[in-house]
Amino acid sequence: MRKILLTLLLCSQNLLWAQSFDLIPLGVYGGGDESNLSAYLIGEKDKNEFLSLDAGTIRAGIRVAISKNTFDVTDETVLKSYIKGYFISHGHLDHLSGLIINSPEDSKKNIYAFPYVIDVLKNNYFTNASWSNFANEGESPILNKYSYQRLEKNKLQQVENTSLRVTGFELSHGTFSKSAAVLVQNSADEAILYLGDTGADRIEKSENLAILWQHIAPLIKENKLKAIMIEVSFPNKQPETALYGHLTPKLLVEELIKLEKSTGQGRLKNFKIIITHLKPGGDQIEIIKKELHENNPLQLDFIFPIQGQKMVL
Ligand SMILES: [Zn+2]
Ligand SMILES: [Zn+2]
């Protein structure tokens, strides 16, 4: 009996240790509703030190999170004190408008992005014609609230005021935009992979996802990668010529089969795939969910995040 109790105790402790990240979706869609666009707070469990993965919706998402008792402080405290920095995947409005709109009330912090994304912020949004320059480079007057931190491909970088480290990867996102993924690691080297908008390599004529899969496959084999957050924007009926750099359920599976080739057969069974960036419209979201569940040869654990509802990973 004592042995059983001890085993149970060890198992439950392992379970506790296995939960390493808090993930709070502030917005989950890829359009159609300006109060619920891509933004996810990621942090070490119970620390309230977050990096915001994209920033489509900030304030409205914080308010929903407070209403669901995810936070027991004011929205101002979450915005100014809990969010320690932003990772911006690419320059599209549905990934950064919340950051721009809330900039007057925000506190001083860093924006982590590839140089091509910082150029979009600098030249198109933090300008006097569009808004004001709340960043530390570009048009005068420079208000110096945000500091641009340029990511370099495959290079680990510390997220200031957190115990998180990030590594950036380039993604292909249609003809006119380059996007990015980020691997977020905690002090125990556990990780979450977040991808901004991306097309499939075959459609984009790119190798970006193949390169990313090769990089993260060892982390999956070592059980260090907790989840992949990746977009599915359209149902399968969307023609491949009209994807505009996005994925369908079929293309996601096509890509993850390639990942499984590097991790070993059966290795992705029950692996958590958090589906982001669903584009609302008619019954499109229900169709996407149905198509993911009906064609799931790898037996992945598809998760659909809900605005304001904390997930522990
Ligand atoms: Zn988008
Ligand atoms: Zn986009």
Give the ranges where the chain is alpha helix by DSSP (H). 2-18, 59-67, 75-77, 97-101, 115-120, 201-204, 208-221, 249-263, 284-294
> What ranges do the domains of the chain cover?
21-312
pLDDT value of position 4 = 61
Distance 97 CA to ligand 2 centre (A): 12
Distance 265 CA to ligand 1 centre (A): 32
Distance 153 CA to ligand 1 centre (A): 21
Classify 21-312 by CATH class.
alpha beta
From the CA of 38, which ligand is nearest? 1
From the CA of 30, which ligand is nearest? 1
From the CA of 198, which ligand is nearest? 2
Looking at this protein, which amino acid is placed at residue 69?
N
From the CA of 277, which ligand is nearest? 1
The one-character DSSP state at 299 is -
pLDDT value of position 19 = 73
pLDDT tens, the chain, 313 aa long: 566 665 555 555 444 455 799 999 999 999 989 999 999 999 999 999 999 999 999 999 999 999 999 999 999 999 999 999 999 999 999 999 999 999 999 999 999 999 999 999 999 999 999 999 999 999 999 999 999 999 999 899 999 999 999 999 999 999 999 999 999 999 999 999 999 999 999 999 999 999 999 999 999 999 999 999 999 999 999 999 999 999 999 999 999 999 999 999 999 999 999 999 999 999 999 999 999 999 999 999 999 999 999 999 9
- CA dist 42 and 39 (Å) reads 10
pLDDT value of position 58 = 98
Distance 1 CA to ligand 2 centre (A): 57
pLDDT value of position 2 = 60
What is the sign of the dihedral through the CA atoms of 269, 271, 277 and 281? positive
